[in-house]
Amino acid sequence: MADDTHVMWSIGQIATRDSVSKAAVSKAVKKLAEDRPDTPIERGLQGQVLKVSLAHYDHYRQRHVNPAKATAPIRSVGSSSGPSIDPTDTFEEARRQAEWLKVGRERIRHQEDIGQLLRRDRVEEAQRTIGRDIQNIIRRLQNKADEIALAVSKEGVHGARVELRRIAFELGNEIADRLAIVADEAAEADELVEGEDS
């Protein structure tokens, strides 16, 4: 939900500012809402987007859209340039919006710098990969049945406990090693979104 500190613009206002179609802006806002569900967006009764935080929109495009394929200018998050002045706005209102936009962009840049912003699709993909790898390791537990049976035949319940503790330690190390590999293979930064026409 939006608050007074966000400069909220409609799809039409953004389309006019960037000289692109409303459909192109709507497509970008849809991707923004999917990747960043916490984005301040005002919605109508049927769930349609009425207004979106301009700072969040500009930040998303600057971070995830390939400038070579974008038809609208990519506005820098750290930029002090404010929204274009609508003739119907007073000078004070335009200045207020420009200042709040600057604050919003700086807040988003700071959140990104300290690692508070994560792409939901990437987090969910990582969770699926990790879950699948852990399941594959745990499924091999049945292959340890002979070792457990041997421990029971030699030392009874105590032998089973010792052997299970050893197997748990071994599986834990395998899981930790696999997670380290997944982390090493992960990209340092998100790639630009290809084919973005907004």
pLDDT in tens, 55-70: 888 877 776 655 555 5
Which residues of the chain register pLDDT less than 50?
Answer: 1-2, 77-88, 192-198
With a threshold of 0.75, does the pTM exceed it?
no
Per residue in 12-54, pLDDT (tens digit) is: 888 888 888 889 888 888 888 888 888 888 888 888 888 988 8
With contact defined as beta carbons under 8 Å apart, do 7 and 53 qualify?
yes
